[in-house]
Structure 1
Amino acid sequence: MSKFLYANIVDDLESKIKKGDLIDGTKLPSERLMAEKYNVSRNVVREAFKVMAEKGLVEIHIGKGAYVSIPKENVITSKLQEAISISKSNLNEILEVRKILEEAVAKRAIQKATKENIRNLEEIYNRMESAIGDTSKFTQEDINFHIELAKCTGNLTLVLLIDTFNNISDKKLYKLNSLYPNRALKAQAEHKDMIRSIKNRDEKKMMMAVDSHINCLASEMEMLNSSLRNKHMADKL
C-alpha cells in the first residue's frame, strides 16, 4: 500500500516538473507538510523523495530539505553513453542507430531548417575548412556540424541522441582523421552537399549525401578496427 502511495507522490511531482510548475532549484515542502498534503506518513514522503533522487529529479540536502533538480543536457547524454557502453553494443550496432538518426534528422532538416540554421552550418563548414590539417579541431567541428544539423529539426530529443552517438564514436573519429588526412576533403564535400540540399529543400539529394557520409564512415571504422586487430595480433607474435 505504501508503494502505491509514494508512487502517487512521485507521479504528481514529475507532472508538475514537466508542466513547469516546479522549476530547477525549487525547494519542496518539508516532509511534515508533504505528509499532510498527501495524507500519508513521513516515511512514505521519504520514500518518494528517495525515488525522485534516484531519477535525478530531486537533490536531498541533509538538514536543509529536498530541491528540484532538472537534469542538464550533458548529464542526460553522459548517462545514455554510460548505459550503451555497459550494454556492450558493438560498433556496427552503434553505427546502424546513428544512420537511422541521421536519416531522420535529414528529412526534418529539409523541412524545418531556418535561415539562421543554414548560416550556422555554413559557419561551421568554414571553420572545418580552416581546420583541415588540425585533427583535433577538425574532429570537434565535425561533431558540431552534425549537432547543428540536428538542431535544424527543432527536436531537442534528436539533438541529445545525435550528441550522444557522436560522443560515443568521437575517439575513433579522431583516430580516423589522424590516420587518413584525406578523409577530411571527402567529408567536407559531403557536408557541402548537405548544406546545398537544405538550401534547395531537396530531400532526395540530402538523403544521398547523408547515406554516402554514414556508409563511408562505417567502412572507414571497419578498416580502422581491422588495422587495430592486426596490430594487436602482430604485437603478440
Structure 2
Amino acid sequence: MTDYLHRIGAGEIEPGAPLPPESVLCEQYGVGRSVVREALQALDAKGFIVVRQGSVAVVAPRYHWHVLDQDFLAVTNPKEYYSLLQEAREILEPPLAALAAARATDEAIDEMEQVNRRLETVLDDPSQHAELDIAFHDAVARATDNAILVSMHSSITGLGQRTREASSAIPGAIERAVTWHDHVIAAIRARDAVGASAAMHLHLRQVREELGRIDTEPEAAEEGS
C-alpha cells in the first residue's frame, strides 16, 4: 500500500476521497482480504485514512496525518515539510537550551562538547554530519532532564535527518553549525539561560537561511544527495 501512501502525500488522492473497495484492492495487489485489511488498518493508525465498519476507507483530513512517519517520508517529497519542521524547531529548541542551562550536569555539557568536536571532522560527509548534529541537539534536550520534552524533540529527528543532509551541501554550513553550537555550549556551561536560548535561536535562524538556499544552489545540493 506504499503507492497509496505516496499518492495521498502527493495530493493525487484528496482528503475525503474514497479508496477502492477491499475486493478491488485484493485483485489489484494479488493478495488476500486479510492482507488488505491489515494494510488499511496500518494507514488508519497513522492517520492517513479513515476506515469505517461496513464502508470504504476514505482519505483523512491532512491535520490527522502523521507526517513524521518514516514510511510516509520515504515515499513523499519531504521538502514540503522543511519549513514546518524549522518552525517547530524554533518554537521548541531555544527553551530547551534555556532549561539545559539551568539543569545540565557537567557530564552532559562535556558530551555536547565531545559531539561538537567530532562534528568538525565530518565536513565532507552529509550523513555523518546529520547524525552528529542530531546527537548534539539530542544531548541538549536530554540535559533538561524532562522526559516529555526529550520525546517531543526525538519525534522530529527523522525529518531532521533529511534537512541536515540537504543543508550540509551549502558551503560553510557545517562550520557555521559548529560555531553556533560552541556558543550554545558556552552559555549552558555558564548557566546563562537567556544566552543559551538566544544562541540557539540565532543558530536556527542560520539553519533556516541555509534551507532557503537549497533550491537555489543545485550543484551543492546535488553533491550532498
Bin for the TM-score computed over the shorter chain: 0.5 to 0.7
Question: 1:130 is matched with which residue: 113, 118, 121?
Answer: 121
Equivalent position amino acid for 2:200 in 1: V
Q: Is the 8 A contact 2:103 2:144 kept in 1?
A: yes
Question: 2:178 is matched with which residue: 151, 174, 188?
Answer: 188
What is the CA-CA distance between 1:127 and the residue it aligns to? 1.2
Question: 2:152 is matched with which residue: 146, 149, 161?
Answer: 161
Mapping for residues 3-22 of structure 1, pairs under 5 Å: none
Give the secondary-structure state (helix, strand or coil) at the position aligned to 1:81. coil
Q: Is the 8 A contact 2:82 2:163 kept in 1?
A: no
Mapping for residues 62-73 of structure 1, pairs under 5 Å: none
Say if 1:157 and 1:80 are closer, same or farther in 2 by CA, change over 3 A: farther
Give the secondary-structure state (helix, strand or coil) at the position aligned to 1:99. helix
Please report the TM-score for the alignment, with normalisation by the length of structure 2: 0.59
Give CA deviations for 1:204-232 in whole Å, capped at 9, x if unaligned: 3212211111111111112214556xx9x
Give the secondary-structure state (helix, strand or coil) at the position aligned to 2:69. helix
Give CA deviations for 1:35-73 in whole Å, capped at 9, x if unaligned: xxxxxxxxxxxxxxxxxxx99xxxxxxxxxxxxxxxxxx
1:215 aligns with 2:202: no
Q: Is the 8 A contact 1:133 1:181 kept in 2?
A: no
**Alignment length (residue pairs):** 151
Aligned to 1:120: 111
Say if 1:188 and 1:147 are closer, same or farther in 2 by CA, change over 3 A: same
Higher relative contact order (CA 8 A, sep 6+): 2
Q: Distance in 1 between matches of 2:156 and 2:207?
A: 13
Aligned to 1:205: 195
What is the CA-CA distance between 1:173 and the residue it aligns to? 1.3
Q: Distance in 2 between matches of 1:216 and 1:199?
A: 22
Aligned to 2:131: 140
Q: Distance in 2 between matches of 1:181 and 1:151?
A: 30
Q: Distance in 2 between matches of 1:101 and 1:202?
A: 18
C-alpha RMSD over aligned residues: 2.7
Aligned to 2:69: 82
Give the secondary-structure state (helix, strand or coil) at the position aligned to 2:120. helix
Give the secondary-structure state (helix, strand or coil) at the position aligned to 1:131. coil
Larger of the two Rg values belongs to structure: 1
Please report the TM-score for the alignment, with normalisation by the length of structure 1: 0.57
